[in-house]
Chains A and B, each alone.
Chain A
Amino acid sequence: MNAPARPNDYTAYPDAKGRFGDYGGQYVPETLMPLVHDLSAAWAAAKVDPAFQAELKGYLTHYVGRPSPLYFASRLTEHFGGAKIYLKREELNHTGSHKINNCMGQILLAMRMGKTRIIAETGAGQHGVATATVCARFGLPCVVYMGAVDVERQKPNVFRMNLLGAEVRPVTSGSATLKDAMNEALRDWVTNVHDTYYLIGTAAGMHPYPEMVRDFQSVIGQEARAQIQEAEGRLPDAVVACVGGGSNAIGIFHPFLNDEGVKLYGVEAAGEGMDTERHAAAINGGRPGVLHGNMTYLLQDREGQITEAHSISAGLDYPGIGPEHSWLHDVGRATYLTATDAESLDAFMLLSKLEGILPAIESAHALARIGDIARDVGKGGVVVLNLSGRGDKDVATVAAHLGRQI
Chain B
Amino acid sequence: MTKARIDARFAALKAEGRAAFVPYVMAGDPDAATALAILKGLPAAGADLIEVGFPFSDPMAEGPPIQRAAQRALAKGMTLKGTLEAIAAFRAEDQATPIILMGYLNPLVTWGFEAFAAEAAEAGVDGVIVVDCPPEEADPLADALEAHGMALIFLTTPTTDDKRLPTVIRRAAGFVYYVSVAGVTGVKEADAQAVAPNVERIRKASGLPVAVGFGIKTPERASAIAQVADAVVVGSALVDEVAEAVDLNEDVTRRVLSKVESLAKAVRFARRVPV
Q: How far is the CA of A95 from the CA of B19 in the complex (A)?
A: 57
Is the Cβ of A289 less than 8 Å from the Cβ of B155?
no
> Which stretch (B181-189, B227-235, B242-250) binds chain A?
B181-189
Which single member of B58, B61, B134 contacts A190 (CB below 8 Å)?
B61
Shortest Cβ distance from residue A389 to the other chain B in the assembled complex, whole angstroms: 27
Is the Cβ of A303 less than 8 Å from the Cβ of B160?
no
Chain B residues within 8 Å of A288, by CB:
109
Check if A11 is an interface residue, CB within 8 A of chain B.
no
Interface string of B169-189 (1 = CB under 8 A from A): 000000000010011100110
A26/B137 contact (C-beta < 8 A), A34-B164, A187-B60, A292-B60 known = yes
Is the Cβ of B155 less than 8 Å from the Cβ of A303?
no
Interface centre among B57, B79, B111, B137 (most CB of A within 10 A): B57
Shortest Cβ distance from residue B101 to the other chain A in the assembled complex, whole angstroms: 14
Shortest Cβ distance from residue B152 to the other chain A in the assembled complex, whole angstroms: 13
Chain A residues within 8 Å of B97, by CB:
none
A300/B106 contact (C-beta < 8 A), A30-B168, A31-B158 known = yes
Check if A302 is an interface residue, CB within 8 A of chain B.
yes
Q: Which residues of A line the B interface, CB within 8 A?
A: 17, 25-35, 173-174, 179-180, 183, 186-187, 190-191, 193, 288-293, 295, 298, 300, 302-307
Instruction: Name B161's closest neighbour in chain A (CB-CB).
Output: A34
A304/B106 contact (C-beta < 8 A), A34-B160, A190-B184, A290-B132 known = yes
Check if B67 is an interface residue, CB within 8 A of chain A.
yes
Can you give 27 A-B contacts (C-beta < 8 A)?
A17-B136, A25-B136, A25-B137, A27-B105, A27-B137, A29-B131, A30-B159, A31-B159, A31-B183, A34-B159, A34-B161, A35-B159, A173-B64, A187-B61, A191-B182, A193-B159, A193-B182, A289-B109, A290-B109, A290-B132, A292-B58, A298-B106, A303-B110, A304-B80, A304-B108, A305-B57, A307-B57
Other 18 A-B pairs with CB < 8 A, given A28-B134, A31-B61, A300-B110: A27-B132, A29-B61, A30-B134, A31-B157, A31-B158, A31-B159, A33-B134, A34-B160, A186-B61, A187-B184, A190-B60, A190-B183, A288-B109, A289-B110, A302-B110, A303-B79, A304-B110, A305-B56
Is the Cβ of B106 less than 8 Å from the Cβ of A289?
yes
Chain B residues within 8 Å of A290, by CB:
104-106, 109, 132
Interface string of B88-128 (1 = CB under 8 A from A): 00000000000000001111111100000000000000000
Q: How far is the CA of A190 from the CA of B132 in the complex (A)?
A: 12
Is the Cβ of A30 less than 8 Å from the Cβ of B155?
yes
Number of B positions contacting A (CB below 8 A) = 46
Chain A residues within 8 Å of B71, by CB:
174
A174/B58 contact (C-beta < 8 A), A27-B137, A34-B164, A305-B107 known = yes
Shortest Cβ distance from residue B102 to the other chain A in the assembled complex, whole angstroms: 12
Is the Cβ of A33 less than 8 Å from the Cβ of B109?
no
Is the Cβ of A26 less than 8 Å from the Cβ of B134?
yes
Q: Which residues of B line the A interface, CB within 8 A?
A: 55-64, 67, 71, 74, 79-81, 104-111, 131-134, 136-137, 154-161, 164, 168, 179, 182-184, 187-188
Is the Cβ of B160 less than 8 Å from the Cβ of A29?
no
Shortest Cβ distance from residue A206 to the other chain B in the assembled complex, whole angstroms: 9
Instruction: Name A194's closest neighbour in chain B (CB-CB).
Output: B182
Interface centre among B58, B59, B61, B154 (most CB of A within 10 A): B58
Which single member of A29, A173, A291 contacts B134 (CB below 8 Å)?
A29
Chain B residues within 8 Å of A29, by CB:
60-61, 131-132, 134, 155, 157
Chain A residues within 8 Å of B81, by CB:
303
Q: How far is the CA of A180 from the CA of B57 in the complex (A)?
A: 10
Nearest 10 CB-CB pairs, A to B?
Answer: A304-B110, A304-B107, A191-B183, A31-B157, A305-B57, A304-B106, A30-B155, A29-B61, A306-B57, A186-B60
Is the Cβ of A291 less than 8 Å from the Cβ of B183?
no
Is the Cβ of B187 less than 8 Å from the Cβ of A191?
yes
Chain A residues within 8 Å of B80, by CB:
303-304
Q: How far is the CA of A183 from the CA of B58 in the complex (A)?
A: 7
Chain A residues within 8 Å of B60, by CB:
29, 183, 186-187, 190, 292
Shortest Cβ distance from residue A73 to the other chain B in the assembled complex, whole angstroms: 40
Chain A residues within 8 Å of B58, by CB:
174, 179-180, 183, 291-292, 306
Which single member of A174, A191, A291, A292 contacts B184 (CB below 8 Å)?
A191
A30/B106 contact (C-beta < 8 A), A183-B60, A190-B184, A191-B183 known = no
Instruction: Name A27's closest neighbour in chain B (CB-CB).
Output: B132
Chain B residues within 8 Å of A17, by CB:
136
Shortest Cβ distance from residue B161 to the other chain A in the assembled complex, whole angstroms: 7
Which single member of B67, B109, B132 contacts A293 (CB below 8 Å)?
B132
Chain B residues within 8 Å of A187, by CB:
60-63, 183-184
Instruction: Name A32's closest neighbour in chain B (CB-CB).
Output: B159
Shortest Cβ distance from residue B12 to the other chain A in the assembled complex, whole angstroms: 28
Interface centre among A25, A27, A302 (most CB of B within 10 A): A27
